[in-house]
Amino acid sequence: MISRFKPFSLNIRGRLLRYERPAVMGIINATPDSFFAPSRALDSEAIAEKAAEMIAEGVDIIDVGAYSTRPGATAVSAGEELERLRMAIVAVRSVDSVIPVSVDTFRADIARLAVTEMGADIINDISGGEFDSGMFDVAAITHAPYILTHNPGTEGNMHPACQYGDVVADVLRWLSGRLRRLALAGVNDVIVDPGFGFGKTIEDNYRLMASLPLFEALDRPLLVGISRKSMIYKQLGVDPTDAQDGTTALNTVALLNGASIIRVHDVKAAAQTVRLIQLIDSTTKADN
């Protein structure tokens, strides 16, 4: 065995989806200022085209966002975010009515509307419930799977300089505490995300990457989102447009260390990576 992957299930509107291999989550940004320009799609036609391309390349979940969280990004009003998301999710649904769609938002009311009115299935909250106190209740009421992300920042400063006693232990403790709060709120279908890049130094990010097997203790599917981030391109002396090879390398490490879902800009490369790792894994099982 070279892979630590454990099959997992998600309850998508009463459909229990069983994942026997790591899932690929493809990113669509309905915003003009996301840090990786090719991920931007600003009208229905472009979004539908991008969704169709991802589906053809083997995407498992499509993640739609309308508020850039890159350092220095311009704040987006709730009304503007809502309208961008409505347009984007409807466009994705025009291509495929059943593929799971996650909505990337930290605003509880927008998450609720995205699930109840627009066709989103999963709530992807980069704030871990910290930016909007109503988010956990929305996850409970809608019964949508909830992605819990470690983020020590605030809405006004999503990338603070933080000091950790032990970044791995601190992140695990933070996630564990919020898992308890989610359980008390009635939310049990939770995916955990260590929050690479949010309030973490380059060294912190790589410590977390090396320690991903420890997140198995949380007994939840593990999402890793490092696609083309600064932890890759700054170390390689390139910019995000030249960071696909580095992303594939780190996604491979994440998959070997137990990632359940990898969130990516480049679906084809990610799906091929999953496929090859699974082939080696299956061969190892057969030999044993």
Inter-CA distances, 186 with 101, 169, 189, Å: 22, 26, 9
Token readout for 275 is 């496929």
- Which residues are annotated as catalytic? 229, 263
Helix, strand, or coil (residue 29): strand
Q: Which one, of 106, 156, 101, 168, lies nearest residue 131 by Cα?
A: 106
- Rounded to whole angstroms, the Cα distance separating 193 from 200 reads 14
In contact, 194 and 234? CB cutoff 8 Å:
no
126-140 burial, b at 16+ Cβ within 10 Å, e below that, comes to bbbbbbbeebbbbbb
The SS3 call for residue 264 is strand
Asked if 23 contacts 58 with a C-beta cutoff of 8 angstroms, the reply is no
Structure tokens at 139: 């996850």
End-to-end alpha-carbon separation of the chain, Å?
Answer: 9
Q: What does the alpha-carbon distance between residue 210 and residue 5 come to, in Å, rounded to a whole number?
A: 15
Closest among 142, 75, 83, 84 to 108, alpha carbons compared: 142
User: How far apart, in whole angstroms, are the C-alpha atoms of residue 184 and residue 144?
Assistant: 16
What strands, in cross-sheet order, belong to the sheet with 122-125?
190-193, 146-149, 122-125, 101-104, 61-65, 23-29, 261-264, 223-224
